Every structure is written in C-alpha cells, then in structure tokens.
A and B are shown apart, each in its own frame.
Chain A
C-alpha cells in the first residue's frame, strides 16, 4: 500500500499546481502505472502523450482521485491530495474533460452548465455563464436543448465550457478532439490556445501530435505506464526515430 509518509514538500517550486510522484496504479491485478511523475506549474500547458493503452487516462484518473493510486503521492498546490475524494481534488482547482465527453444527457445545456458553475478555490470568478457562451456561441443557441440532442462537437464544447465554469487552475482534457470534424476540432484548439493565454494551466491528451506539440510548453511521454520522456516540443521533434517508436508518427 501507499508509502505516503515519504512525501514532504521539499524541492517543490512554489508555482507547482499538480505534483504527482511515483504513481502506481492497478486495474484489479494488472499493473498499469509503474512510477509515473507529472508536474504542472502555474500557466503551463502539458502535452501528455503515448500510444493507445499506455496509461494516459489512468494517470489522469489517479490524479483526479477517480482511481486512487496504489503508491505514490499527488499534491495539488502543495497540499497532499493522495487518496482524497474526487470532489475535494476538483475543488482544489482541477477540472476534468473526460474521454467520451461525459455530459449529462438528462440535463439541458443550461443545466449542464449551471450545476457545475462556482467560484475558484481563491474566490476567482472570471468564467461566468456569459463568458462561456461567448467562447462557444453555438451553445448559446442550444441552451434549452437536452444534452442528448447536441452534435458530438457541441457536446465537447459543452464539456469544456462546463469545466471552465468551475474556474479551475488546471484544465485536464482527455482526447477532447477525438472523432470531431476537422473544422470543429480547429475551433476547439483555438479555444484551448485562448485558455492558455488567459493563464490557466492544462494537461492535454490528444492523438493529434502536431496540434498538441504546438500548444504545449512541455510534453510527457508514457510507454507502458512509465515516463520515457519529459521536455519541450523542439527537443521531441528533433528525435523523429523515438517519436516513431513511441507514437508511430
């Protein structure tokens, strides 16, 4: 079980929003994450990369408390959140856009947004319903519709808008553009760029290597539950043979 006592705030920089160290995670007996570290500083956009089944989603879930790590520690803004309830971790400033969207189909678009809206942990309230709707004008037209009635792209916009309405420090996006028409995906990338410029950190998991590496300040590459690379996109692009091996691009 967790070696939680070995965790102290030592060399951590003050601006670390998420500091996950030595994360091990299991699904039943299968050992999925084998000691992964992930650091997200204030204002940083992280590209989390790896082929199918390498453990990206599992790492996000471990950080978010949805799959509490078997070993390792998760700190959010310097506070230990290892094994904390997901709602506490979310309230510490993390917002999640899960794989496969996760809108509430039985709620209207407006309700999907309102149920989540709150000020950030520091009382910041920059993201209001109006601002979210200005960011995604399509949602404004669809406010009264049921979540079910939206197109895939609109559902994804709704999930991102809903996450922003929690006024997070870190936005965590798992395959946000998967299965979307190129134009819709482009719109999402444009919004993510805007979010980056507004100073919100994010962790982005996406199949589109060139788009992620363009927006990311730093990339983390997972292979079979272990970190094989951490660094900026320049360095990563300069090693095409490794990219080929890790991602098949």
Chain B
C-alpha cells in the first residue's frame, strides 16, 4: 500500500475509533456505574447530529451550535434520568431494555416530526475547512484532525475526572456500594443523574462532531449503537479504558478492512466483507477473553 494512502487510512481509522469511544464510553459508564443498559444511547448520537444541523442553520454558526447543543443534551439527560431512568436502577435488565427501546421509538418519531426524514449535511466550519497537503494529489482535511484532537482532549479530561477528582472517587464508590456511599453523606441520586446526563451528552456531542464528516440521516443512531455495543463488549463491560482500546481497534479494523484486499488460503477477501470484520474480531476476542480486554469491572 502506498505510504500516503496508508497514513490517510490510519488517520481515518484513529479518528473513527476516537469518535466511537466518545459514544461508547457513555454507554459503558452508564452500565458500569448505574447498572443500566441504555439501548437509546445511539439515539442521542443521532439527536446530536440533527441538533448540529438544525442549530447551525438557526444560529448561523457551527461553534455556537456545538456549545448550545451540548448544554441542551445535558439538560435533556438530567430530565430523562429524572423522568425514566432513575426508576430502573433496581429493576432487572429486561425492564431496562424495554424502556430504553421505547425511548428509541419515541426519539425516532420525534425526530421525524420535528426535522423530517431527509438526509442532511453540515458544512465544515470555515476555520477548519482547509486541507493539509500530503503529496501533489493527496491531502488530509484539517477538520478531521481537529476532531481527533478534541476527542483525545475529552478522553483525557474524562480520565482525569474519574481517576483524580473527588467527584470521580464518589462515582466509583457509588458503583461499588450504593448504600455505603449514601451513608457517607453523598447524594447518589444526584451523582447518577450527572453521570447519565454527561454520558448521553458525550454521545450527542460525538454526533455533533461527526455531522460535518458524515451525513445526517435517520438511521445513524441505530448503526452506531450496534458498533458501540461491540466496543463495550470487546473492551470489557464497565471499563472506560477498555472502551478506548476497543474503539481504536474497531476503528482501525473497520477502516483498513474496507480498503485492503487480501488472500486467505487461496480465497480473496473482498472489501465488501469489511462490515463483518468487526464482528469476527469480537468473536475472536470473546473466545480468548470472555470478560473482554479490560474485564475488571467497575461494579
């Protein structure tokens, strides 16, 4: 493979992986800390993308759209947690799945009513519209690089928050023993509300960031949800570190799977089969480590 093409694919794979991490980390946090399976997680990614599209049009500025979209998502998350999710903590997984599946349908319908079913695109903000030339014919878009950097900054911030702040300690304590945490004077209801709101706001933010590089379309939430469950399972349920490793792995496998043609035992493996490569990888990882790469759970 031409080294420049390889570099471009590598950057694409890393960028896709980092974006997946933003979505999947919220999913794994909400499961690891609160024990809730949130099927509607992908819907927030979709919602984020539509918010980016509609707010950019309304406000005429992508950056304002990002900021206000993020704030809206946090508020929406707090509201949903208060209305629905907090009733699920002591329920079994079937009830969680039923309720959050219901949320998928509601969000999909609401999206259809408010924004319609059309496919949209969001322009790359002028500030980042350029490309970095690699050769005379090849260039890499600045926006994608910026996107990767933002994801890394957010991931580092999340790591710091969870591992090194008192709030993070309280959250981890709550994941291990809810009653004890409460008896130390910590309002675990508020803590869980924040974790949920922050988790889904990350998914929405990922959707907003992705809007300029992919199109904005109705089914994008469900597609990302499936891949995110793969990320969470490969990484180890509840492990943020695992989500990072698995997301990067999937980003690279998926990206290179689409461009590399190779032969196994005389059979030519076509790029068209790339969609499967991710699931094949999941099967292999699970056979090797059923608890996932970083199976050390939070709870």
Q: Which residues of A contact B (CB under 8 A)?
A: 64, 66, 85-87, 90-91, 95-96, 98, 102, 104-107, 111-112, 114-116, 118, 162-163, 166
**Contacts A114-B169, A115-B166, A115-B169 given; does A106 touch B184 at CB 8 Å:** no
Q: Are A102 and B180 in contact (CB under 8 A)?
A: yes
Tell me if B92 counts as interface (CB < 8 A to partner A): no
Q: Are B173 and A115 in contact (CB under 8 A)?
A: yes
Q: Tell me the smallest distance from the CB of B256 to a CB of chain A, in Å.
A: 36
Q: Tell me the smallest distance from the CB of A125 to a CB of chain B, in Å.
A: 14
Question: Chain A residues near B135 (CB, 8 Å)?
Answer: none
Tell me if B298 counts as interface (CB < 8 A to partner A): yes
Stretch touching chain A among B110-118, B185-193, B211-219: B185-193
Q: Are A118 and B183 in contact (CB under 8 A)?
A: no
Q: 19 additional contacts, CB 8 Å, given A64-B183, A104-B172, A115-B170?
A: A66-B183, A85-B182, A86-B183, A87-B182, A90-B184, A90-B185, A95-B183, A96-B180, A98-B180, A104-B176, A104-B180, A105-B176, A106-B172, A106-B175, A111-B169, A114-B169, A115-B173, A115-B184, A116-B186
**Contacts A106-B175, A107-B173 given; does A116 touch B184 at CB 8 Å:** yes
A-B contact pairs, 13 of them (CB 8 A): A87-B182, A87-B184, A87-B187, A90-B182, A95-B183, A95-B184, A96-B183, A102-B177, A102-B180, A106-B173, A106-B298, A107-B169, A115-B186
Q: Are B176 and A166 in contact (CB under 8 A)?
A: no
Of A64, A91, A104, A166, chain B has the most CB atoms within 10 Å of the CB of A104
Q: Tell me the smallest distance from the CB of A185 to a CB of chain B, in Å.
A: 22
Bound-complex Cα distance A115 to B171 (A)? 9
**Contacts A114-B166, A115-B166 given; does A86 touch B182 at CB 8 Å:** yes
Q: Are B180 and A118 in contact (CB under 8 A)?
A: no
Bound-complex Cα distance A118 to B166 (A)? 11
Tell me if B261 counts as interface (CB < 8 A to partner A): no
Q: Are A106 and B182 in contact (CB under 8 A)?
A: no
For chain B residues 147-200, which have a beta carbon within 8 Å of chain A? 166, 169-170, 172-173, 175-177, 179-189
Q: Tell me the smallest distance from the CB of A159 to a CB of chain B, in Å.
A: 9
Question: Chain B residues near A98 (CB, 8 Å)?
Answer: 179-180, 183
**Contacts A114-B166, A115-B169 given; does A106 touch B183 at CB 8 Å:** no
Closest 3 CB pairs of A and B: A115-B169, A90-B185, A86-B182
Bound-complex Cα distance A196 to B6 (A)? 71
Q: Which residue of B lies closest to A162 (CB)?
A: B184
Bound-complex Cα distance A107 to B182 (A)? 16
Bound-complex Cα distance A166 to B185 (A)? 8
Question: Chain A residues near B169 (CB, 8 Å)?
Answer: 107, 111, 114-115
Q: Which residue of B lies closest to A98 (CB)?
A: B180
Bound-complex Cα distance A75 to B298 (A)? 36
Q: Tell me the smallest distance from the CB of A110 to a CB of chain B, in Å.
A: 9
Question: Chain A residues near B184 (CB, 8 Å)?
Answer: 87, 90, 95-96, 115-116, 162-163, 166
Q: Are B170 and A66 in contact (CB under 8 A)?
A: no
Bound-complex Cα distance A11 to B189 (A)? 36
Question: Chain B residues near A91 (CB, 8 Å)?
Answer: 185
What is the 8 Å Cβ interface bit string for chain B, positions 71-101, against chain A (1 contact, 0 not)?
Answer: 0000000000000000000000000000000
Q: Are A118 and B182 in contact (CB under 8 A)?
A: no
Bound-complex Cα distance A112 to B179 (A)? 15
Bound-complex Cα distance A90 to B186 (A)? 8
Bound-complex Cα distance A95 to B187 (A)? 15
Q: Tell me the smallest distance from the CB of A128 to a CB of chain B, in Å.
A: 15
For chain B residues 118-169, which have a beta carbon within 8 Å of chain A? 166, 169
Q: Are B183 and A107 in contact (CB under 8 A)?
A: no
Bound-complex Cα distance A118 to B182 (A)? 14
Contact of B179 among A86, A111, A118, A162 (CB under 8 A): A86
Question: Chain A residues near B183 (CB, 8 Å)?
Answer: 64, 66, 86-87, 90, 95-96, 98
Bound-complex Cα distance A66 to B180 (A)? 9
Q: Tell me the smallest distance from the CB of B218 to a CB of chain A, in Å.
A: 40
